[in-house]
Structure 1
């Protein structure tokens, strides 16, 4: 499984740092939705789903967290801890976010608007969709 992590261009001086993101330039898709999670309690896991067509970039803009990626045959854990790094998650990839630091803010850039029918929330259904028998 290939994990794609982007290191976004940082601009800074004695006033601080700035990261600007543009679709099709820094982000490999049109951004149709942005959301973020914060104040995630200790030992809480989030996600537990895949998407049929949606693509995402996850950026932990403050603090840190871990992301478990699972394509049905292989699993990888990716740490997000720098506000200028983004993790690309393709469609048909199961994801679980966890180990959030107390101050974590995880921002998600999505290629599609919210559509419940795009979600695969049952792991066994996900395995069937990617052609893995359980």
Structure 2
């Protein structure tokens, strides 16, 4: 089972050109899983909080495509906050980690690359159930 220390910021490659920068992400090359779903959050009010769940199997790369926001990661024992504000950095969230999001800046876009298609049975949406899962596997 993973803990919060297994969830790290990953530096993404940047190709600098005179007309701007480009970052290319490819399955199994610079992302350690095959991307099965891509989604993004935007127009999130600055005082709103998102997330409040964990996944049994899903892995994610989360990128601040624009603006900034903070992730709170929780493994049932420890918590840490991760501030994202660069489009060339991704937060790799491993399975079994509770996540919450807050402090969205105006105009922020949160891009998520996921290892699985949407599967409701992969979600843990109740924090007590999450703690029980972490305790008992």
Give the TM-score normalised by structure 2: 0.94
State the secondary structure of the residue aligned to 1:130.
Answer: helix
Partners of 2:16 and 2:33 lie apart in 1 by 26
Partners of 1:118 and 1:13 lie apart in 2 by 41
Figure out how many residues of one structure are paired with residues of the other and give that number.
132
Task: Give CA deviations for 1:112-131 in whole Å, capped at 9, x if unaligned.
Answer: 00011110000000000000
Check if 1:20 corresponds to 2:30. no
Give the TM-score normalised by structure 1: 0.96
Task: Give CA deviations for 1:30-82 in whole Å, capped at 9, x if unaligned.
Answer: 10000000000021000000001111110011000000000000000000000
Partners of 1:26 and 1:103 lie apart in 2 by 27
Q: Which runs of 5+ in 1 are unaligned?
A: none
The equivalent of 1:41 in structure 2 is 45
The equivalent of 1:113 in structure 2 is 117
Check if 1:69 corresponds to 2:83. no
Q: Which runs of 5+ in 2 are unaligned?
A: none
Task: Give CA deviations for 1:80-106 in whole Å, capped at 9, x if unaligned.
Answer: 000000000011000001100001000
Q: Whose helix proportion is higher, 1 or 2?
A: 2
State the secondary structure of the residue aligned to 2:135.
Answer: coil
Partners of 2:8 and 2:32 lie apart in 1 by 11
State the secondary structure of the residue aligned to 2:130.
Answer: helix
Partners of 1:65 and 1:32 lie apart in 2 by 24
Check if 1:50 corresponds to 2:50. no
Moved over 6 A (4+): none
